[in-house]
Structure 1
Amino acid sequence: MVFNINNQNAAQINMAGGNQYVTGPQGTTIQLHDAYAAARALRAAVAQVALPPGVREQVLTDTVAVERELAAGAPNRQESARLIERVAESLGRYGALASAGAALVAPLTTLGRWLGPAGAAVLSLLH
């Protein structure tokens, strides 16, 4: 069987000669200003959750660092991913993700998607 397809214009085109399975969030693009807004929302939500004192300071320090990176306009995604992953792990470990729900999960999801492949670990911690 032969397919002749002409004049394709798209950001991404997937073609397969057999079965093709596509999973995950497709077509998601998070702009820098949206990631910055998510970082601000995350910091505000973290300030409202109950965490042990040493953990609270570390989580707030990490969220502020990510927010500053994004505000500067040229963030290091690998470093941001490391910090956001540490925040998500801490929030999950101490039950904050379950107790605060969408207030934390929504901005973490946005940041994880903004990170692209570097954010896979963050997104996996949210499910």
Structure 2
Amino acid sequence: MSGETFRFGDVRGPVNAGSGNLNIHGHQQIAGRDLRTGPATDPATALRADLDTLRRALDELRLTPAEHRTAETELTALEHEAAQPSPDPGRMGRHLQAFTTTLEHAGALAGAGLAVIQAITAIATWLGPAGHQALSLLGL
């Protein structure tokens, strides 16, 4: 397969590549398995979903009462900032970093589960440069 070139024209996300099928919104199947496209997810909706994932996971993480309060405070501040008409990425990045640092120092990040790691990663990526510190705590 090396040397082959593929052109797809104007591809818009989300696009998930799997093992071959290409399913385009409108239920057209092109070939193979597991490649789907559909309407793009609104970034604000995706951000709220990621914050909800962190909120639900917080009570299940192994944290001392003090660590839980710190993580809760940072997550609440992050949620509050995200709800603003024009959220400040720098502030959000600092709260996400503090939240992630609390989990890391507590040793809870390792056992937090994939959903928590993916939510932190998605939020940090959405924040761009303001989220880099949180990504570095995840080893990304």
Tell me the TM-score normalized by structure 1.
0.71
Which runs of structure 2 are paired with 1:14-93 in the superposition (5 Å)? 31-93=43-105
SS in 1 for 2:63: coil
Q: Is the 8 A contact 2:81 2:91 kept in 1?
A: no
Alignment RMSD (CA, Å): 1.9
Tell me the TM-score normalized by structure 2.
0.65
Query: Higher strand share goes to which structure?
Result: 2
Amino acid at match of 1:44: R
SS in 2 for 1:51: coil
Measured after TM superposition, the shift of residue 30 of structure 1 is: 7.9
Asked which structure has the greater RCO (Cα within 8 Å, sep 6+), the reply is: 1
Q: Could you list the structure 1 runs, at least 4 aligned residues long, displaced by more than 3 angstroms after superposition.
A: none
SS in 1 for 2:83: helix
Measured after TM superposition, the shift of residue 73 of structure 1 is: 3.3
Unpaired runs of at least 5, structure 2:
1-9, 11-40
- Number of matched pairs: 100
Residue in 2 that maps onto 1:105 = 117
In 2, the alpha carbon distance for the partners of 1:98 and 1:30 equals 30
In 1, the alpha carbon distance for the partners of 2:47 and 2:118 equals 11
Query: Higher helix share goes to which structure?
Result: 1
Residue in 1 that maps onto 2:135 = 123
SS in 1 for 2:119: helix
Amino acid at match of 2:79: E
Q: Deviation per CA, 1:55-106, whole angstroms, max 9, x where unpaired?
A: 1011011111211222233211111100100111110111111112213211
